[in-house]
């Protein structure tokens, strides 16, 4: 696989993760509506502070297991199941739940705590993100850089965009366009689930 393909994977997965409903996105919207776009943007930046230790730990563990195709295959199956769960959740999405937080803004701290306590980043990097990084590293180190650049530019960029929209156009978040975008991204996640499932079958030498 060419290194640029990993950039495409990072962009799509980052876009899907960035716009998908969840605790962090809800907090981004809450901070934007309650305290303004600046606090919403601070919250959107929190993955840049929380994900590095998770990625390093997962990479270390998978590097120790890289010669055990069966174990990596099982992780691929787990990643596929997780993406199916997220995809179905997105396809059934209806609206962002209303939030109201009158407390003083500590947006970045709230975002970091929320992301650290959120199981989704851990599940994603253990079952999906890190195996893709291992594959990218096997091709060329540039693939790792491009995947991470694509992923974080989209996951943070989409959340920043949502913060700006929430602060300036609240009706958009309740509108059909946003709902349809999330549902389409749910279908994208299902496609990635199929790809991971196939990779798991290959690693276990079933196909």
Distance CA 80, CA 90 (A): 15
Nearest residue to 102 via CA among 34, 166, 37:
34
Other CB atoms within a 10 A radius of the CB of residue 186 amount to 21
Helices (H) and strands (E) in the chain, counts: 11, 0
Distance CA 15, CA 156 (A): 9
CA angle 1, 75, 88 (to 5 degrees): 90
Maximum alpha-carbon separation in the chain: 56
Distance CA 80, CA 198 (A): 9
pLDDT by residue, tens only, the chain of 207 residues: 577 888 999 999 999 888 877 778 877 877 777 677 888 899 899 999 988 888 887 777 777 766 655 666 777 787 788 778 878 877 887 766 555 555 445 778 888 887 777 767 877 888 888 888 888 888 888 988 999 999 999 999 999 998 888 777 666 666 677 777 778 877 877 887 888 788 778 877 776
Which residues span the domain enclosing 178? 3-203
User: Which residue is associated with the tokens 């943070």?
Assistant: 156
12 half-sphere exposure, CB direction, 13 A CA radius: 18
Please tell me whether the overall predicted TM-score, pTM, comes out greater than 0.85 for this model. Answer: no
> Distance between alpha carbon 60 and the CA centroid of its chain, in Å?
20
* Number of domains, the chain: 1
């Amino acid at each position: 696989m060419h290194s640029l393909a990993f950039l495409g994977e990072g962009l799509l997965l980052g876009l899907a993760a960035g716009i998908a409903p969840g605790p962090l996105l809800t907090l981004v919207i809450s901070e934007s509506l309650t305290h303004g776009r600046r606090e919403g943007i601070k919250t959107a930046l929190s993955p840049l502070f929380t994900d590095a230790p998770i990625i390093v730990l997962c990479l270390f563990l998978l590097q120790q297991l890289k010669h055990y195709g069966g174990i990596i295959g099982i992780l691929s199956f787990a990643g596929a199941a997780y993406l199916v769960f997220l995809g179905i959740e997105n396809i059934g999405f209806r609206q962002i739940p209303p939030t109201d937080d009158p407390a003083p803004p500590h947006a970045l701290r709230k975002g970091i705590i929320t992301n650290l306590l959120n199981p989704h980043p851990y599940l994603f990097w253990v079952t999906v993100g890190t195996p893709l990084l291992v594959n990218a590293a096997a091709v060329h180190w540039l693939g790792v850089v491009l995947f991470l650049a694509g992923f974080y530019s989209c996951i943070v960029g989409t959340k920043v965009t949502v913060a700006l929209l929430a602060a300036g156009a609240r009706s958009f978040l309740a509108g059909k366009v946003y709902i349809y975008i999330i549902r389409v991204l749910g279908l994208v996640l299902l496609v990635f689930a199929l790809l991971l499932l196939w990779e798991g079958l290959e690693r276990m030498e079933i196909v």
